[in-house]
Homo-oligomer: A and B are copies of this chain.
Amino acid sequence: MKVERVKVVVVAQRKSRSDRRIDLIDAARRAIIRHGIDGVQLSHVAEEAGLTSGAVLYHYPDLRELLVEAQQAGMERFYEHRLRRLTALTDPAEKLVVTIRSGLPTGPLDPDVRLLNELGGAAGRNRVYGVLLTSLYDRQVSMYQAILDTGAALGVFRLSADSLTIARNLVALEDAYGYRITARHPLIGPDEAAELILSYARAATGNDLAH
Q: Which residues of A contact B (CB under 8 A)?
A: 33-39, 108, 114, 117-125, 127, 129-130, 133-134, 137, 160-161, 165, 168-169, 171-173, 175-177, 179-180, 182-186, 188, 196-197, 199-200, 203-204
Q: A36: nearest residue on chain B (CB-CB)?
A: B38
On whether the beta carbons of A124 and B108 are closer than 8 Å, the reply is yes
Instruction: For A197, list chain B residues within 8 Å (CB).
Output: 169
- Report which of B35, B172, B186 forms a contact with A180, defined as CB distance below 8 A: B172
Measured between alpha carbons, how far is A165 from B173 in the docked complex, in Å? 12
**Across the two chains, which residue of chain B brings its CB closest to A180?**
B137
Distance (Å) between the CB of A99 and the closest chain B CB? 16
Q: Which residues of B contact A200 (CB under 8 A)?
A: 169, 200
Ordered by A's residue number, 7 sampled pairs between the chains whose C-beta atoms are within 8 Å are: A35-B38, A133-B179, A137-B180, A137-B185, A161-B199, A161-B203, A169-B196
User: What's the least CB distance linking A100 to chain B, in Å?
Assistant: 13
Bound complex: CA A137 to CA B133 (Å): 23
Q: How far is the CB of A10 from chain B (nearest CB, A)?
A: 38
A180: B residues at CB distance < 8 A: 134, 137, 172
Cα of A114 to Cα of B186 in the assembled complex, Å: 25
Residue with the greatest number of chain B CB neighbours at <10 A, chosen from A108, A169, A179? A179
Known: A36-B38, A134-B180, A176-B172. A199 touches B123 (CB 8 A): no
Given contacts A183-B133, A196-B168, A196-B169, contact A36 B122 (CB under 8 A): yes
